Amino acid sequence: MYLFSKKIKCSSCGKNFKGIKERNKEKYICSSYSNYGKCIRQVIEQNRIVYLVANHLEIDKVKTGVGTSGSKMTLRTKVEDYDQITLEQVMNSVKQINIDPINKTIEILYNDNTRTFVSDDQIYF
């Protein structure tokens, strides 16, 4: 299941990323590259985006007082750890994602007008 279909935009060519399955994992790739061999081959795993969004939501919960302790701020490494955040919440909180394959950055824009921005060393491309 592709959670972010039509929400991921390539900053290089302006087209959407589309879902592909590689080694049984959901990933996204620039549709210009996938369909026409143009743009840049840049693949991102869906789990990586889920991780970033879940972290953001978790931190947001702590900030707004919903969380119970400071330990919730700890970054977690596995998607399965997010027992309190459902994939539906993850999907519904994201407005748009901009991926820049040249500078290797991801910008996630949320429906509440907050954002996550990460660059190269934190991304597994």
Given a contact cutoff of 8 angstroms between Cβ atoms, the answer to whether 56 and 114 are in contact is yes
CB of 94 to Zn ion, least distance (A): 19
Residues 6+ apart with CB under 8 A from 102: 11, 12, 40
- The CA R_g of the chain, rounded to the nearest whole Å, is 15
**Residue 52 phi, psi (nearest 5):** -65, -45
CB of 12 to Zn ion, least distance (A): 4
CB nearer to Zn ion: give 39 or 50.
Answer: 39
CB nearer to Zn ion: give 3 or 39.
Answer: 39
By the criterion CB under 5 A, which residues form the site for Zn ion?
10, 12-13, 30, 32, 39
CB of 98 to Zn ion, least distance (A): 11
